[in-house]
Amino acid sequence: MIYRSHVLFCNGTGCVSSKAPELMAKMEELLVKNGIEKEVKIIKTGCFGLCEKGPIMVIYPEGATYCHVTLDDIEEIVNEHLIKGRIVKRLLLGDKDVSDVSRSRDNVGFFAKQRRIALRNCGVINPENIDEYIAHDGYMALAKAVTEMTPAEVIAEITKSGLRGRGGAGFPTGRKWQFAAQAVSDQKYVCCNADEGDPGAFMDRSILEGDPHSVIEAMAIAGYAIGANQGYIYVRAEYPIAVKRLEVAIKQAREYGLLGKNIFGTDFSFDLELRLGAGAFVCGEETALMTSIEGHRGEPRTRPPFPAIKGLWGEPTLLNNVETYANIPVILLKGADWFASIGTEKSKGTKVFAIGGKIHNTGLVEIPMGTTLREVVYDIGGGIPKGKKFKAAQTGGPSGGCIPAEHLDIPIDYDNLLEIGSMMGSGGMIIMDEDTCMVDIAKFFLEFTVDESCGKCPPCRIGTKRMLEILERITEGKGEEGDIEKLEALAESIRKGALCGLGQTAPNPVLSTLRFFRHEYEAHVKEKKCPAGVCKALLSYVIIAEKCKGCSLCARKCPVGAISGEVKKPFVIDQSKCIKCGVCMESCKFAAIEKK
Amino acid sequence: MKSVEELKAIREKALKEISIRDNEDKIRIVVGMATCGIAAGAKSVMNAFIEELAKRNIHNVTVSMTGCVGICRLEPIAEVIEVNGEKTTYVKLDDEKARRIVAEHIVNKKPVLEFTIGAAEK
């Protein structure tokens, strides 16, 4: 069926929660009402990446990208754009003063510096329609692998591409495949780690929601390469849209015979199953993940033996992350040399980041390795809101660290990030401005680790708890001389003694903030001050007598009645009653209240 | 899926259906679809363009709508805009004329001079 117009609605989690499905229903209704339902096709697609501007939709053939669309706008879009062919300029993304009919999103700053490989189909195809994936060369890489290449050639190609694991540590993918291929056994498994747990990270979620077939195809290719006929995708149950689209995709792939017996008429057979995780952070660790698939409590075990030798049910198992898999089909189709031409010397290709925090364009971006942090924050991210100063970027989640402003021009790749005490991680990137207290941030991540520690080994279970207690003391103004040194000593023992990667890296947020912002810790401990004005116990609100006009507004706003005074004379805050909510400072029209 | 050919066949078919979303370097056919155009039969002309292009497997042409060009007496009007921006304005169209424009102008690269605004206003 040929339509004159295609309307693509983003149906990633971000836009779904900002009511994209209701907008779609309304448009469908209006198309029928106007009798153009056979001329205009509505397609739901995956995440465009610009979640901050959601709900987002794109109308072809014009390629007009509309953002922040509301129910009322839908009627206007149907009447103006779809019936009369007039672009609704006020809803367009980017420059609103466009004279041309089309305004492609590729020209907008947010997209201009990106290079989409892993996200190539997100926001482009309907993830629930296998034909659209096939139209974009889907399953061609699998066809090429099983009909034209030997397993060794597939692995050689992946090795040559320089692809490294996108889940965190950056282990060379080709070598991992090689180890699993070399292991001798009748039964091997291919697993996909879709247990994305870093706070604020949603790269894997968006790939699964927007392009589930790319992961399925890559896992089948991996199965062919290492000699496995069964795969498992371990995905968290709290990603309901991703789970549903994976189920649909697996069903469609089976119907087409792209999963199952004798794929493409060869003797290669491969099938996939989903395993839903309950959302424990530790299950993102490979040994814990496999233990959980086996039906046991998700706890890590010591390595070696590595999964490639002894993994799921004691058999050789290959485990890669979602984004790593999403790169595989393109590498086979376009060639290892093409992939290796993108990126830096030791980090090839691109990396997807979920940018959040104090930044204009929160959302999902895919950049070539070697892009500087400055480009990500200012060119793609649109800078820091309210004209505030950039203070640091946190990458790698609870296992990573903070990158301060002095390193803004560092090209982002695995080795550079490690060198400055952070890590690539799975791709969460939280931007912090001058109002962020670094001790408070370290405390936040440690709270997360303490909550999520599985409790199997004491260094992680008890050590992180002790570190958190010290941090809590410091932020409450009860820090003592020697606390910082104690933190460092504890961090070192946890790093050396913890059983799995999560425990070993848990002190990183503290260590990296200590490295670049030691003075903030010292200010908390020695001067009992929080330089960023975040830690409530360490700050007080004061009225500057010379500026106060005695209007009594603050006194009326104060929820605990801590402010008193005579009208037209300076007011005072009773520090013993003050709960430091800051309402007085917000309400003062003369900027007469200061936070110290 | 028993062969790569089967997969390729699905790809070709699916590509046709989504080619509209790839709008790089394409010839554009813009049909005037204001009240005047619609009243004169522009909708059916537009569908004729779309069907004829699909029938001939032509994917480098997009068909879109525009508002009133201002010469309502000559509706239905459509303009063919080449990749280099060169424009041909066709007037007083019907389904049959639309199909001929696809055959002669788009396929054979020869504008159908007798349907152009210049011919009508002579």
Domains and CATH numbers, chain B: 24-120 (3.40.30.10)
Angstrom distance (rounded) from CA A493 to CA A457: 12
- Please tell me if residue B63 touches chain A, with a CB cutoff of 8 Å: yes
Residue A225: give the domain boundaries.
130-339
Predicted ipTM beyond 0.85? no
Which residues of A fall within a CB distance of 8 Å from B3?
264-265
pLDDT of residue A95: 53
Ramachandran quadrant class, A551 (left: phi over 0; alpha: psi -120 to 50; beta: rest): alpha
Give a yes or no: residue A535 inside a domain: no
- The total number of structural domains that make up chain A: 5
Residues lower than pLDDT 50 in chain B: none
Considering the domain boundaries, does residue A111 fall inside one?
no
Last residue of a domain, which of A339, A363, A391?
A: A339
What percent of chain A is modeled with pLDDT above 90?
A: 82
∠ CA(A72), CA(A76), CA(A79), 5° rounding? 140
Cβ-nearest to A265 among B2, B28, B65: B2
Are B20 and A6 a contacting pair at CB < 8 A?
yes
Tokens representing residue A337 in the block: 């040399």
d(CA B76, CA B116): 12
**CATH number, domain containing residue A568:** 3.30.70.20
Peptide bond into A127 cis (omega under 30): no
Query: Residue A240: its pLDDT value, please?
Result: 92
A258 and A138, same structural domain? yes
Whether residue A293 is found in the same domain as residue A400 = no
Residue A313 sits in the same domain as residue A376: no
Confirm or reject contact between A308 and chain B (CB < 8 A).
no
Residue A84 at interface with chain B, using a CB cutoff of 8 Å: yes
Region A444-459: mean pLDDT is 95
Are A257 and B64 an interchain contact pair (Cβ–Cβ within 8 Å)? no
A297 plus A385 within the same structural domain? no
- DSSP letter string, A44-96: EE---S-GGG-S-EEEETTTEEE-S--HHHHHHIIIIIIIH----GGGBSS-S
Q: What CATH number is associated with residue A465?
A: 1.20.1440.230
Query: Are residues A219 and A72 part of one domain?
Result: no
Residue-level pLDDT at A97: 41
With contacts defined as CB-CB under 8 Å, which chain A residues touch B47?
4, 39
Q: How far is B51 from chain A (nearest CA, A)?
A: 8
Asked if A4 lies within 8 A of B64 by C-beta distance, the reply is yes
Structural tokens at position A67: 């953002």
Q: Which residues does chain A have within 8 Å of residue B2's beta carbon, measured at their own beta carbons?
A: 257, 262, 264-265
For B8, other C-beta atoms within 10 Å of its C-beta total: 13
pTM above 0.80, yes or no: yes
- CB-nearest to A85 from B7, B18, B33 is B33
Residue bearing tokens 């590509």: B15
Mutate to test the interface with A, among B2, B3, B4 (most CBs of A within 10 A): B4
DSSP state, A116? -
SS3 A593: strand
Single residue among A339, A369, A391 that ends a domain in this structure? A339
Q: What would the mean pLDDT of A263-277 be, rounded to a whole number?
A: 96
Query: Distance between CA atoms of A20 and A32, rounded to whole angstroms?
Result: 19
Quick check: B1 contacting A, CB < 8 Å?
A: yes
Q: Is residue A116 part of a domain?
A: no
Confidence of residue A369 (pLDDT cuts 50, 70, 90): very high
> From residue A73, how far is each of A55, A69, A80, A97, A358 by CA, in Å?
11, 6, 10, 19, 29
Among A5-14, A28-37, A57-66, A287-296, the least confident range: A57-66
Q: Sign of torsion, CA A561 A565 A570 A576?
A: negative
Angstrom distance (rounded) from CA B10 to CA A355: 37
pLDDT at A105: 58
| CB spacing of A102 vs B14 below 8 angstroms | no
Residues A215 and A326 in one domain: yes
**For A288-319, how does the pLDDT look when each residue is reduced to its tens digit (9 = 90+)?**
999 999 999 999 999 899 999 999 999 999 99
For residues A151 and A246, membership in a common domain is answered with: yes
A319 shares a domain with A420: no
Cα–Cα nearest to A174, from A152, A189, A192, A190: A152
For residue A28, pLDDT over 60 is answered with: yes
pLDDT digits (tens, 9 = 90+) for A556-571: 999 999 999 999 999 9
User: CATH number, domain at A24?
Assistant: 3.40.30.10
Q: What is the CATH number of the domain that holds A164?
A: 3.40.50.11540
Instruction: Indicate the pLDDT class of residue A101, thresholds 50, 70 and 90.
Output: very low
Q: Are B67 and A85 in contact (CB under 8 A)?
A: yes
Same domain, A211 and A329: yes
Strands A40-45 and A57-60, sheet pairing: unpaired
Share of chain A above pLDDT 70, in %: 97
We report the CATH number of the domain holding residue A400 as 3.10.20.600
Domain boundary among A433, A457, A472: A433
| A186 belongs to a structural domain | yes
User: Distances in Å between the alpha carbon of A425 and those of A44, A164, A373, A399?
Assistant: 30, 12, 15, 7
CA-CA distance, A90 to A347, in Å (whole number)?
41
The answer to whether the CB of A425 falls within 8 A of the CB of A169 is no
Q: A393 pairs with which residues across the strands?
A: A403, A431
- Which pLDDT does position A113 carry in this prediction? 85
Q: Which long-range contacts (CB under 8 A, 24 or more apart) does A66-75 make?
A: A66/A91, A66/A92, A66/A93, A67/A91, A67/A92, A67/A93, A69/A23, A70/A23, A71/A19, A71/A22, A71/A23, A71/A26, A74/A23, A74/A26, A74/A27, A74/A30, A75/A26, A75/A30
Contacts of A594 (CB under 8 A, 6+ apart): A541, A542, A543, A544, A585
Residue with tokens 């029928």: A32
Distance CA A361, CA A384 (A): 9
Domain assignment present for residue A124? The answer is no
| Residue that the structure tokens 């560092």 belong to | A410
Q: What is the pLDDT of residue A112?
A: 78
CA A124 to each of CA A63, A106, A325, B21: distance values in angstroms, whole numbers, following the listed order: 11, 13, 19, 8
CB contact at 8 A, A333 and A243: no
Size of interface A-B (CB pairs under 8 A): 94
Query: What average pLDDT does this structure show over A385-414?
Result: 93
**Average pLDDT, whole number, for chain A?**
92
Judged by CB atoms closer than 8 Å, whether chains meet at A61 and B16 is answered as no
CB atoms within 10 A of CB A418: 16
Q: Higher pLDDT residue, A419 or B67?
A: A419
The length of chain A in residues reads 596
Largest separation between any pair of C-alpha atoms in chain A? 91
- The label of the residue with tokens 């037209």 reads A568
Q: Chain B residues with CB inside 8 Å of A332's CB?
A: none
Interchain pair A102, B34: CB under 8 A: no
Those of residues 88-127 in A touching chain B at CB distance below 8 A are: 101-102, 104, 124-125
pLDDT of B34 reads 77
Cβ-based contacts of A139 with chain B (< 8 Å) = 1, 7
C-alpha dihedral sign at A382, A386, A387, A392: negative
Task: Assess whether A263 and A181 both reside in one domain.
Answer: yes
Q: What is the reported pLDDT for A99?
A: 40
Closest CB to A4: pick one of B15, B46, B66: B46
Tokens of A36: 């153009």
Q: Are A310 and A217 in a shared domain? A: yes
Residues A13 and A77 grouped into a single domain: yes
